[in-house]
Structure 1
Amino acid sequence: MLEYGHDWRLVLASFAIALMAGFTGLSLTRGVSRLSVTQRKVAVSMAAVALGGGIWSMHFVAMLGLQLPIFYFYDALTTLVSALAAILMTGLALLILHFRPRTSRSVTLAGVIMGLGIAVMHYIGMSGMELCRPVYTPLGVGGALLAAVVLPVLAVRVAYSERGRRNILLGTVGFGVAVVIVHFIAMAGTGFLPEAGAVVAGPVLGNGTLGIVVTLAAFLISAAFLLTGITFGPSAEEVLASLPAREAVSAPVPLAEVVARPVVEPVVATARRAETLRVPHEKEGRTLFLDPMAISAVRAEGHYTLLLRGTERLFCPWSISEAEERLTPAGFIRVHRSFLVNPLRVVKFERLKDGGQCSVEGAEDRIPVSRARLAELREVMGL
C-alpha cells in the first residue's frame, strides 16, 4: 500500500464549500411550501444543484488534496457521473421534504436518501482514479455508510424542525460536518495501490490548480443562486418599513396588525399577486366574486367549499384542491385536509398534543392544524 497524506489547505477549502452549499440549499427552500407547484419545482431544482453539487465539489476538492508518492488523476466521465448521482439523490430527498406531508418519517427518509447520495457519490468518484487503484476495507465502508445515514438525518431534522434563520444556520453546520466526516471516515478505510504498466497522458491542469478552479466555481454557483432565489433576507416588517406609505396601505389588512403578525413573504407582494384573482361564490341565485384578501379561511364542504369572511359562510363552487391551487400564490396555506387559512387573518394559535388549532377574524370556529402542517404554519406566522 502507498503512504498518503492531505493538503490541509484544500481540506479546509472543501469544508467551506460544504458549508456554503448547505446554506444555499437550505435557504433556497425556505418558505417554498407556500409557492405554486411550478415555482416550488424551480426552487427545489436550484437547491438540489446547490446541495448535490456542493457535496460533489467538497469531495472532489478534498480528493485533489490527496498527496500520493505517484502521479494520478481522475477520469472525466466517472467524475461527472458521481456529480450527477449526488445531485439526483439530493433532489429526491428535497422532493420528499417539499412535495409530501412533512412528518417525522418523511424527514428521516429524506435524510437517509441524502446521506446515501453522499456515500454513493464518494465511491463512484473514487473509482475514477487513474494510475492508482483504491482498495477498500469492510470496516471503512461500513463506517462511512453508518455515518452517511445518521449524520445527514440529524442535520435535516435540525434544519426542518423549525424553518427559521437559527435552524437554517444550525442545519448548515450539521450538513457541512456530515459531508466532511463521511468523506474522511471512508478515506481512513481506503488504501491505494499503483496500477502496473499504465501509461496514460495526464490532464493539462494539475490537481492543485483544479482544486482552486472547482472551489471558485462552487462559490460562484452558490452566490448566483443566493442572489436569485434567497429567502433568508429581510423580514416582512423590514420590507414594509422601506415602502412608501401609499404602497404599505394597499394591503387590506391594517399595517399595525400585519407588523404584529409577521410572515416570511412580504405582505404587499402577496396582496399584489391576489389583485388579479377573484374567488367566485353564490348568493341568492347569483354568482359574485370576492377579493381573496377578504377571506379568512376556506373549508371543504363535500365536493365544494365554504368561504369564511367574518361571520359569513359563502358557498364556493371550487373543490378544496382547486382552491388550494388557486389561492396558494395569494398566500393561503393548507393547514388540514379540509381547511385553507389566510395567515393575515389568523388572530390566535394554540399548540395541541397531536397538532394545533387556530382562530381567524370574525369566526368562532376553531380551525384544526394537522401535525404534518404544523411546521409550515409556524414558519409563516413567524413562530
Structure 2
Amino acid sequence: MSTNCTFRAAGGDGVFLDYSHNYLFVFAAVAVSLMASFTGLALTRGVSLLPENQRKQRIAMASVALGGGIWAMHFVAMLGLQLPILFYYDALTTLISALTAILVVGIALLVMHFRKRTRLSIILAGTIAGLGISAMHYIGMSGMQLCTAVYTPFGVLLAVASSVVLGIGTFAIAYGERTHRSIILGTLTFGTAVCAVHFLAMAGTNYLEVDNVGSLAALIDNETLALIVTLIAFFICGGFLLLGVTFIPAPTATVPLVEQGKPASPTTSVPYQKDGHVQFIRPAEIAALRAEGHYSIIYTGSDKLFCPWSITEAESRLLEGSFIRCHRSYLINPEHVTSFERKKDSGVCLFAGSPALGAVPVSRSRMAEVRTAFGLI
C-alpha cells in the first residue's frame, strides 16, 4: 500500500535514494489534520467575548489541539516515508518541532483574539501560522538519523509560500463570520493546507544515506509509533471537544419563540454573559447584534457582549422594538446608525459611537426595508 515517488540523481556524496509513501499513513495523517483543525477552530468560537483569563485558557487549549495536531499530521506522514535503508528520528529534535507548532499557532490565535479583528490582523495571523507550519516541517526533517534530507531551493520556496498563502486564506474563511459554516469550511481549508504543504515540501526533497556508525536502531517500529501518535492526537482533540466546544448546543431554558401559535412578544431587556454571570441590557443601548453560530454578539458603545440568543430568536424579540434585520447575520438599531452608504444593489451602515462594530453590510434583499426606516424612500 504505497505510492512510489522515485528520484534518482547524482548527489555530491552519492546517489539519491528511491522513496515512497504508505497510503495508510497518508490517510491517517489527513484524518488527524482535519480533526485537529476542527477542534482548534471550534474551541476559539466566541473566545473574544470571554474574560481575559478564560480567553487565555481557551486559546492555550486550541493551540495544543491545533498546533499539536499539525505536528502529529506531519509526524505520521513522515513515519509513512519508505526508504530502502534503516532510518529513525531524533527524539529531542522531534519534540522541538512539536513545541514550535504549538507556540506559533498560539501566537497567531492571540493576534486574532487580543487585537481588533481587521484584514491586517487576519493576514498577520495567517502569515505567522503559515511560517510556523513550514518551520515545524523542516525542523522535524532535520531530526532524521542515518539519512539526510537534501532540499531544492524551489521546493523550499514553494512550500513556504504555499503555507503562508493557505494560512491567510484559512484565517480569512474561519474568521469571516464565525458561523458553523465558516468553521467547517475553515476546517477543510486548514486541514487540506497542512497536508498540501507537507507533501509539496516532500516533493522538493531528496534523501542521501549517511555512514552508519554503530548499530543504532529505533526502539519502536514506524507502524506502532504512527498508531500511538494518531490515537493520542484523537484523544486530546476529543477531550477538548467534550470540554470546551458547544458546536451542537444542548437545548436551553429560554422562552419558546412560538407558544400555542402566538409569536413571542418583544422583550424589555436582552441577556448577556460576562464574568460568569448572566446580566441584562436595555435594547435602546444596543447598536447592533451579529450572528455567532447559535449565539449572537451584542455591540454597544465600545463593548462586545456574548448573548445566548441566536440571531433568529433576537429578531423575533426585538423587531417590534424598532430593530431592523439588514443582513442574514446582523440586526441593527437605526437610532445608533450615523451614516448610510449605498453600493450599487447593496449598502453599508456605519456606527460612529461603536468603533468595534465597523461597517455593517446591508444585503440587496433588505435594502428597501432599511431605506424606508431611514426615510430615504
Shorter-chain TM-score bucket reads 0.7 to 0.9
- Contact 2:325 2:332 (C-alpha < 8 Å) held by counterparts: yes
Task: Identify the match of residue 61 of structure 2 among 29, 32, 46.
Answer: 46
- Contact 2:50 2:274 (C-alpha < 8 Å) held by counterparts: no
- Contact 2:303 2:356 (C-alpha < 8 Å) held by counterparts: no
- Contact 2:63 2:106 (C-alpha < 8 Å) held by counterparts: yes
2:60 aligned counterpart, secondary structure: helix
Higher RCO by CA contacts (8 Å cutoff, separation 6 or greater): 1
Are the structure 2 counterparts of residues 108 and 351 from structure 1 closer, same or farther at C-alpha, using a change threshold of 3 Å?
farther
Q: Point out the structure with the larger helix share.
A: 1
Are the structure 2 counterparts of residues 297 and 106 from structure 1 closer, same or farther at C-alpha, using a change threshold of 3 Å?
farther
Task: Identify the match of residue 57 of structure 1 among 72, 75, 82.
Answer: 72
Task: Identify the match of residue 188 of structure 2 among 168, 173, 193.
Answer: 173
State the AA in 2 paired with 1:54: G
- Contact 1:24 1:50 (C-alpha < 8 Å) held by counterparts: yes
Cα shift readout 1:239-269 (whole Å, capped 9, x = no counterpart): 23xx4xxxx46xxxx8669x989xxxxx989
Q: Within 2, Cα distance between the matches of 1:33 and 1:117?
A: 23
Q: Within 2, Cα distance between the matches of 1:107 and 1:73?
A: 38
State the AA in 2 paired with 1:150: V
2:150 counterpart of 1:135: yes
2:149 aligned counterpart, secondary structure: strand
Task: Identify the match of residue 179 of structure 2 among 164, 172, 195.
Answer: 164
Question: How far did 1:338 drift?
Answer: 3.8
2:220 counterpart of 1:205: yes
Are the structure 2 counterparts of residues 371 and 216 from structure 1 closer, same or farther at C-alpha, using a change threshold of 3 Å?
farther
Unaligned runs of 5+ in 1: 262-266, 276-291, 300-307, 309-330, 379-383
Question: What is the 5 A alignment of 1:332-351?
Answer: 335=299, 338=302, 347=319, 348-349=323-324
Are the structure 2 counterparts of residues 125 and 346 from structure 1 closer, same or farther at C-alpha, using a change threshold of 3 Å?
farther
Cα shift readout 1:292-314 (whole Å, capped 9, x = no counterpart): 41534669xxxxxxxx9xxxxxx
- State percent identity of aligned pairs: 49
Question: How far did 1:121 drift?
Answer: 0.1
2:138 counterpart of 1:123: yes
2:182 counterpart of 1:218: no
Matched with 1:239 is: 251
Unaligned runs of 5+ in 2: 1-15, 288-294, 308-313, 339-350, 363-377
Matched with 1:293 is: 280
Matched with 1:358 is: 332
Q: Within 2, Cα distance between the matches of 1:42 and 1:334?
A: 23
- Contact 1:293 1:342 (C-alpha < 8 Å) held by counterparts: no
Question: What is the 5 A alignment of 1:1-383?
Answer: 1-234=16-249, 239-240=251-252, 243=253, 248=254, 270=273, 273-274=276-277, 292-296=279-283, 335=299, 338=302, 347=319, 348-349=323-324, 358-359=332-333, 364-366=335-337, 368=351, 373=357
The Cα RMSD (Å) is 3.5
Number of equivalenced pairs = 308
- Contact 2:273 2:305 (C-alpha < 8 Å) held by counterparts: no
State the AA in 2 paired with 1:176: G
- Contact 1:161 1:375 (C-alpha < 8 Å) held by counterparts: no
State the AA in 2 paired with 1:239: P
State the AA in 2 paired with 1:221: I
- Contact 1:296 1:341 (C-alpha < 8 Å) held by counterparts: no
Q: Within 2, Cα distance between the matches of 1:58 and 1:179?
A: 8
State the AA in 2 paired with 1:295: R
State the AA in 1 paired with 2:299: V
- Contact 2:46 2:306 (C-alpha < 8 Å) held by counterparts: no
1:198 aligned counterpart, secondary structure: coil
- Contact 1:333 1:377 (C-alpha < 8 Å) held by counterparts: no
Question: How far did 1:187 drift?
Answer: 0.5
Q: How high is the TM-score relative to the length of structure 1?
A: 0.71
